[in-house]
Structure 1
Amino acid sequence: MIQHSLTTPSLVRAPGTYYMAHTQEKVVALTFDDGPDPIDSPAVLDILKEKEVRATFFVLGQAAQSNPFLLKRLVKEGHEIGNHSFNHDYQQRRLVEEMNQTDREVFAATGTHTYFYRPPGGFLSKNQLEIIKNNGHIVALWSVDSKDWRNPGVKQIVDNVVKNVFPGAIILLHDGGYQRTQTVKALGPIIDALRNQGYRLVTLSELKTMDSDIK
C-alpha cells in the first residue's frame, strides 16, 4: 500500500481519528475551516455551486453566531457543517463547552447538529480525543494540506492539492480566519484539475461510507 506523507500531527494515525477513507475509488472530500466569513465564504459557495460540488465546512461558533445566514445557505446548497470550536483556542481549554456552544449556534440557524469535530490546528491529546468521542463527535483531520493559510500564491495552493491527492483523501482549505483571496482564486482550478484526474468530490459523511476499513 502506498504511504502518503501527512501534514497533521502523528495522532492522526491513532484509532478514532478520521483523516482519509481507505478506498480504491477516485473520490475525495474538500473541507474548509475557520468560517463562515461574510466576504470569502459567499465567494467559495458561489464557485462550489457553479461547479456542482458539495463540501464540508468546519465552522467557528463565534463566526457562526455573527453570520447565521451563511449557515442557512450552506445547508440549503447541500453542504455539510462540522464543528471547529468556538474561539479557535489551540489549547482547547474549554473543549466540551466550546464544542457545545458551536453546536448550539449551528442548530439554532439550521436545525441540524454537528457530527464531525476538527480541533484548531489539528492539535489534540489522547485525553482530548476521548473527551470528543464521549461528546458524540468524530475527530476529522486531513491528509492533504493546501497550505493556503500561508498565502503562498494561487498556483502553489493548487499544486499543493493536485500533486498530493490520492483516493480517499481529505483536503484542507480555509474560507475564514483572514483574507482568503488566494484560496478563492485557487478553488476553481483545484476542482477542475481533480475532475480531469477522474476524481469525484463528496462530503465527509459520503466519503466515510466508502471506507473499506470501517470496523
Structure 2
Amino acid sequence: MRNRLFSLVLTLVAGLLVVLGGSMPANVASPQTVPPSAASPVEVDLTHVAYAGTVYLTFDDGPNPTYTPKVLAILRKYGVKAVFFELGQNISYYPSITRNLRSYGMKIGNHTWSHPDLTTLSTSSVIWQLNKMESALGYRPRCVRPPYGATNSRIQTIIANRGQRHILWTVDPRDWSRPGTWTIVNRVLANVRDGSRILLHDGGGNRSQTVAALDLLIPRLRARGYVLGLMAC
C-alpha cells in the first residue's frame, strides 16, 4: 500500500512539473528518457553560413574496382560532382566503372595511358600516351593532368595545341601515402582556399583512408562556407 501511494505521489509531481515547464528531479528516472546513442542525428543548418568560396575535388589514377565505386557513393550521398583523372589502361580493364561515373555527372580527365613522367618522353611519345588514353575512353576530354605533376612548357604546349586544358592541383594532402584518415582531412582544411583544386586518389593502391576522409571532409568544407563545384572538364 505504501509503495503504491509513493508511486502515485511521484506521478502527480511529474505531471505538475510538466504543466509548470519544469523537469523531474535529477534522482528520479523519467520513463521518457532516451539514451544519447539512440537519439536522432542532428542536422546542421548551413543556411546562414557565410560563403567562403568554391573548391573542386579531383581524383587520380582510377578507375579502381574497389575504391572508385565507394568514392562515387560518397559523392552521390552529398550531391557533389568531381573530376576523375583516369588512366587509359585502367579504363580498358573497367570501362563500366567509367561509364557509371559519367552517368552520375562526373567528369573524366586524361591522366595518360600508363602514368609515365611526360617530361622524360619524346613529343611523339607524349602524344601517343594522350591519344591511347582517349581511345580507351572513346572521346577527347577537355582536361589533361600530367602524372606526378611533372610538366614544363613543352608539355603545356602539346596539351594546348590539342585544344585541352592543363590542370594540376593546389591542395595535396598526400593521401596516396596513407598518412591516416584525419591527417588527410586536416591537411586539406589547413590549406584550402577559394578556387582550390584538391587532389585525392581513387586508384593506385589501398585508398580506404581516402574514402573515409572524403566522408568527413565534404560536410566540414560546407560548414566552413565552401561550395564544392565541378571544373569544366
Q: Give the TM-score range, shorter chain.
A: 0.7 to 0.9
Q: CA contact under 8 A between 1:25 and 1:168: conserved in structure 2?
A: no
Q: Which residue of 1 aligns with 2:137?
A: 106
* TM-score after normalising by structure 1: 0.80
Deviation by residue 1:156-209 (Cα, 9 ceiling, x = unmatched): 000111111111110000000111010001001110110101111111118xxx
> Letter of the aligned partner of 2:182 in structure 1?
K
Higher relative contact order (CA 8 A, sep 6+): 1
Ranges of 4+ aligned residues in structure 1 off by more than 2 Å = none
Paired position in structure 2 for 1:193: 220
Native 8 Å contact 2:63 2:91 kept in 1: yes
1:44 corresponding residue in structure 2: 71
Distance 2:204 2:214 in 1: 17
| Deviation readout 1:140-164 (Å, 9 max, x if unpaired) | 0011112101110000000111111
**TM superposition shift of 1:113:** 2.7
Please say if 1:129 is aligned against 2:160: no
List gaps (5 residues or longer) in structure 2.
1-50
Distance, in Å, in 1 between the alignment partners of 2:182 and 2:55 is: 20
State the SS of the aligned residue for 2:183: helix
CA displacement 1:38-59 (0-9 Å, x = unmatched):
0010010011111110000000
2:105 corresponding residue in structure 1: 78
Shift of 1:25: 6.0
Aligned length: 179
Specify the SS of the correspondent of 1:172: strand
Query: TM-score scaled by structure 2?
Result: 0.74
Structure 1 segments unaligned to the other structure (5+ residues): 1-23, 207-215
1:57-85 per-position Cα deviation (integer Å, ceiling 9, x unaligned): 00000001111001111110000100000
**Identity between Structure 1 and Structure 2 (%):** 40
> 1:97-148: CA deviations, max 9, x gaps?
11111112112xxxx5311000000001211111111122111001111210
- Bigger CA radius of gyration: 2
Aligned amino acid, residue 114 of structure 2? N
* AA of the residue aligned to 1:101: K
Code of the residue aligned with 2:213 in structure 1: it is: A
Given that 2:56 and 2:231 are in contact with CA atoms closer than 8 Å, whether structure 1 keeps it comes out as: yes
1:167 corresponds in structure 2 to 194
- Which whole-Å CA distance do the structure 2 matches of 1:51 and 1:38 have between them? 21
Q: SS at the partner of 2:228?
A: strand
Q: Name the amino acid aligned to 1:106.
A: L
Work out whether 1:64 is the aligned partner of 2:91. Answer: yes
Provide the C-alpha distance between the structure 2 equivalents of 1:25 and 1:186, rounded to a whole number of angstroms: 21
8 Å CA contact retained: 2:52, 2:224: no
Match of 1:205 in 2: 232
Whether 2:181 is the aligned partner of 1:154: answer yes
